[in-house]
Chain A
Amino acid sequence: MIYDVVILGGGPAGLAAAVEAKNGGAENVLILERDRELGGILNQCIHNGFGLHTFNEELTGPEYAERYIQKVKDLNIPYMLDTMVLDMHDNGDLKSIHVINEENGYMIIEAKAVILTMGCRERTSGAIGIPGYRPSGVFTAGTAQRFINMEGFMPGKEVVILGSGDIGLIMARRMTLEGAHVQAVCELMPYSNGLVRNIVQCLDDYDIPLKLSHTITFIHGKDRLEGVTVAKVDEKLKVIPGTEEYIPCDTLLLSVGLIPENEITRNAGVVMDNRTNGAIVGELRQTSMPGVFACGNVVHVHDLVDFVSEEAVLAGKGAAKFIKGELDNEITFTTTNGDGIGYVVPQQVAMKNVEDKVTFYMRVRQVFKDKVVNAYIGDQLIATKKEKKLLPAEMVNFKIAKDVLAQYPAGEIRFVVEEAK
C-alpha cells in the first residue's frame, strides 16, 4: 500500500499534522511512533499551562495530548507504536521510509508525502563538558521528569539544577513537591532562559534561589554524586576566580538546551539551517525535498506547545495540497535575521500558497526593552511589531498580512531589532 502522507513521530506536532492532512483531503495517513503510546513528551509534562492559546483553558500536558489523540482516533488515522524509523529516501514521486519494529521486523513504507515531526532531545553533560567525575546522580531534567512522573522513581534528595530552561524550572518545583530539597538553579547567562511565569511559580513560590551568571565548574563524587562546585562568571562568561562555592548534593539536573532531532532529515539530504538546526522550510513547512514537510521542535525549538500545534496545521495543510498537486513551489521571498534576531522561520515564502497572512517565528539574541522588531524588504520598512520587552526565552510571533507582502514582487525579508520611533 502506498500512503498519501506518513508522519514520523506521534507527539504534538505529528498528531496535529495528521489531523490537518486528513481534514485537508489526504486519505491514507499513517503515524509512526517509536514510544509505546502517542503523545510524545507531553505525557511526562504533567504540569498545567498548556493550551491557553489553542483551547483558551489551562490544561496539563497529558490532557492536551489526549485532545489530539482523540481527534486522530475519531478520524480513524492509523498509527504504529514501538516503531523506529531508520531512514528516509527520496525516489522522485514516492518517498521510501525504512522502519523497524518487533512485530513486523524490517519494513519499507512508501508515501507520496512525509511530515517530519521527530521533535528534539536534550543536551547532555557530554555536550556541555563539565569538568570532574561522571558519577550517577547526574540527569537531564527531562529524564528526571520521566522517572518521577511516569515511572515513579525519585532521582535524589539534595538537588542542584544547571540551566534555567523551562524544564529545569518545572523540575525544581516538581522535586520540591515530592520532598526533595532544591538548593539552587544556576544559569550561565545574566537572564533566565525560562518563561517568566515559570520563574515565579516554580522558583519564587518555593524560595529556590536562581543564581544568574553562575555555572558549575566541577562535579564531585566517584560512584554517586557528592557535590558540585559553583562559580560566578563575568560578561564574557568566563569563571571569576575566587567565587567558587562547594554545594553538597546527590542529584544534578541539567536543563541546558534542546537540539532538534534531525538525523533522518540530514541523511535524506534535506537542506538544513545552521541557525535553527532544523530544515529550511516554507510558509506551509515544505522542505527543500518536494513532498517532505517538517514542523514542531524538529524545525526550531518552541517554548509553547500551542505554537507547535499551529505550525503542524500548516504542514498538514501543505502535505494535503501537495498530494492534490495544488502546492506552488515558486519561492517569492526568503527571510533573514538582522541585528538582534537569532533566526527566522519560515525561511522561504511562496506567495501563491498564502491564504491571508504569514506568521514569522523568531527569537531575539538578548534581552531588549522598549524596542521594536522591524521587517524590511530592501530599504523599505514593511511591518513593525512593538514589544515592551523582548526575551530570548519567549518566541516572537510576527504576523504580516498577505496584502502587505503582495505589494512586493520578490526579495528578502529582513527582521531587525531597532529603537522605537
Chain B
Amino acid sequence: MSLLTHILGWPLLAALVLAFVPRNFRFLTRLVALAATFTSAVLAVVMFVKFDTALATDFQFVQILPWVASLGISYHVGVDGLNVGLVLMGALVAFAACCCSWEIKEREKEFYILLLVMTGGILGAFASLDVFFLYFFHELALVPTFIMIGIWGRGEEKDYATFKITLYLSLGALLALIGLLALYLQMPEDKRTFDLVTMTAHFRAQAMDGSAQQFIFPLLLFGFGILVSLWPFHTWAPLGYGAAPTATAMLHAGVLKKFGLYGLIRIALPMMPEGAAMWMQWLAFLCLGNILYCGLVAMKQKDLNLLIGNSSVAHMGFVFLGIASLNVLGITGAVLVMIAHGFLAALSFGLSGYLYQQTKTLEMEKLGGLLRQMPFFGAAFVMAAMAGCGLPGFANFAGEALIFFGAWTEFRVVTILAAWGALVIGAVYMLRAVRSILHGPLPQQWHAAQDASTLWCRLPFALLIGALLLFGFFPVLLTKKIEPVAKQIVKDARAVLKPSVTVGVKN
C-alpha cells in the first residue's frame, strides 16, 4: 500500500476503532486519536523527505484501485510538488489540533470520532487524483465540521453560525459539484473517467469547447471560491470560526479551507484556459475585497476570534491574487501561502482557544497585560501576529513576496493596494490585538490565568511555530517542489493567452 493510503487511512481506521471503545474510557479515546494523528504526521514527514524533488512533476507514492469501472471511478492517490506540502501541512495541523482538544469535556468519544473522520477526509481530499474521491473526501471532512460547531461550539451565536456555515459551504460544494460533473460530461463518451490525470491530459491535447469553458469555469471559481471565503461570500468564516471548537477551527481554517484553492489550481486552471483568461482579472479585483475590505473589517473587531477569522479571510486574498496573476511566481507563491497560512491559522486559533480556556472571554477590551502572566503563550501569540503581518523569517513572508513579484507584472494597481493591505492594515490589527491582550497593566481578574507550562500544552504551538520558521528560513524546501508543477499549470492555463511578461536576468 502506498504511504499516502497509510497517512489518510490511520485516522479513518482509528475513528472506526473508537466507535467500539466504551464511552467512559476517556483516556483511551484520547490516546487512540493522538496515536493515529501522530502516525499520520510522522508518515507525512517521511513522505515529504522521501519525495523526489527532481521528479516533482511526476506523481509519487501512487496507488490505484479501480472501483466503479463503468463510470471510470477509481481510488487513485498520489502527490506531486503541488500537493506534497499540503498533505504534510494537513497531517501536522491535524496532530496539533488533536493535542489542543483537551478542552472538550463532554461527549469526547463522538468528538474524537468526528475529528478523526475530518482529518482522514482532508488528507484524502488533498491526496486524491480522482475527481469523485476528491469530492467525496472533501464532503467527508466538511460534514463533521458542521456537527462539531453545532454541538461543541461556543458563544451566543452558535446556532446561527452553524446554520450559516452549513448553508454557505453546502452551496459552494454544490456549485463545485455541478462544475465537476459538467467537466466529466465534457469528456468524449467513450473516454469518460473521473481520473484527474487522464482528464487533464485529455483537455491539454484536446481543448475543451470555449462555450463550455465559459459556463463551467465560473461554477468552479465561485463554488470553490465560496469554500475559501472569496469576497463577498466570506461572512460565514469569521462567524463560524468564532463559534467553532478550537480543533475544528484549526483544521478548517488551516487545512480544509485550502481545498477550494487547491481545486482551482489543480482542476480549473489547467483544464479551462479560456475560462481562466476571462475570469482571472475579475478575480484580481475580488481578491482586493478580501485583502483590503476584510482587513479593514478586522481592524474594527472587538472579539479576538472574529479578528483572526477576518484576518484569515484577508490572507486568502493573497492566494487569490497569486492565482489571478497566472504566472509561475504567482502560483508558486500562492501554494506557499496556502501551506504557511495553514500552519498560521491553526496556530492562531489554537492560541485563541487556549486563551479562552483561561479567561472565558475573547473580548479584547476586557483582556490586557497577559504577557506577564503567560510568557509562553504571549511569545507564541506575538510570533503568530508577526507571521500574520508578513514578517520575514516566517513562511508567509516568502509566499507573499513571491505573490507580489508575480502580480506586479500583471496587475499593478491591485498589487499596490494589496501591498498596503499586507504591510500596513495587517500590521494595524495584529499589533492592536497584541497591545490589548498582552500589553498594558494586568487587570486583577486575570491573575489566576495559567500559562501553557506542560509539554503537552506547548507541543502543538511549538510544532506549528517550528514549521513556520523552517519554511520561512528555507522556502526552497517547498518552492523547489512547487515550481516545476506551477510551470506546467501556467503553461496549460496560458494556452490561449500570450505568455506573461518576462522580466529578470540572472543576478
Tell me if chain B binds chain A.
no
- Which of A's residues lie within 8 Å of B, judged by CB? none
